[in-house]
């Protein structure tokens, strides 16, 4: 892809994300994006079918970046995975805010990432605890990942108010110890 194409797609994406901060996607038009990005409609349609395709492509790129961040970690732990995920969110703060603010069900665009994490957890847990059932793995993974998404959502909604390491440690501590130890250690 040449520099001009990259630049044009970046302008389109940035304009779209700016609009998403103040408008519902259903009210954003291709014409509005083109006007604000100072491009013509044919240029937009060269790369995207419509605003929903644009959102899908943005989410796909983001998920691929998250996959790459977590794929290299051979010594997998909840904390290392959370840290990789959180670093990717901090590198893409504007996108993260838009995705979490505009999607009530944020998990759908992170399904691929959660699948990777699930497979890594399952492999590690089954190696460490051979008699662990698939059902136990499912319950534990559901607890950890849904809780982690809630924490990440809260962190993003609070404008990344804590460091990546602080949030990764909170996720890991809650994942491994549950709420009892986390809450009552504050006494």
pLDDT of residue 71: 61
Residue range(s) defining the domain that contains residue 127: 58-184
Q: 37 lies in a domain?
A: yes
> What percent of the residues of the chain are helix, what percent strand, and what percent coil, each to the nearest 5?
80, 0, 20
Same domain, 24 and 90: no
How many Å apart are CA 118 and CA 105, to the nearest integer? Answer: 19
pTM score: 0.74
Residues 79-109 have pLDDT tens digits of 888 888 888 888 888 778 777 765 544 556 6
Residue 65: give its domain's CATH number: 1.10.357
Residue 39 lies in a domain: yes
| Tokens of residue 19, six digits | 């609009």
The predicted-structure confidence for 36-52, as pLDDT tens digits, reads as follows 999 999 999 999 999 99
Report the sign of the C-alpha dihedral through residues 32, 37, 42, 45, in that order: negative
Is 144 in the same domain as 166?
yes
């Amino acid at each position: 892809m040449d520099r001009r194409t990259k630049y044009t797609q970046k302008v389109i994406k940035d304009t779209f994300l700016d609009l998403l901060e103040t408008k519902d996607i259903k009210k954003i038009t291709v014409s509005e994006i083109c006007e604000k990005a100072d491009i013509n409609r044919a240029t937009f349609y060269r790369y995207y079918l419509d605003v929903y395709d644009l959102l899908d492509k943005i989410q796909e790129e983001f998920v691929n970046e998250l996959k790459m961040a977590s794929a290299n970690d051979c010594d997998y732990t909840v904390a290392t995975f959370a840290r990789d995920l959180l670093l990717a969110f901090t590198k893409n703060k504007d996108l993260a805010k838009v995705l979490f603010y505009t999607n009530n069900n944020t998990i759908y665009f992170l399904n691929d990432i959660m699948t990777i994490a699930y497979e890594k957890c399952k492999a590690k847990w089954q190696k460490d605890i051979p008699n662990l059932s698939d059902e136990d793995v499912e319950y534990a993974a559901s607890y950890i990942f849904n809780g982690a998404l809630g924490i990440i959502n809260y962190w993003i909604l609070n404008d990344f108010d804590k460091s990546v390491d602080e949030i990764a440690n909170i996720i890991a501590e809650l994942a491994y110890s549950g709420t009892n130890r986390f809450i009552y250690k504050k006494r």
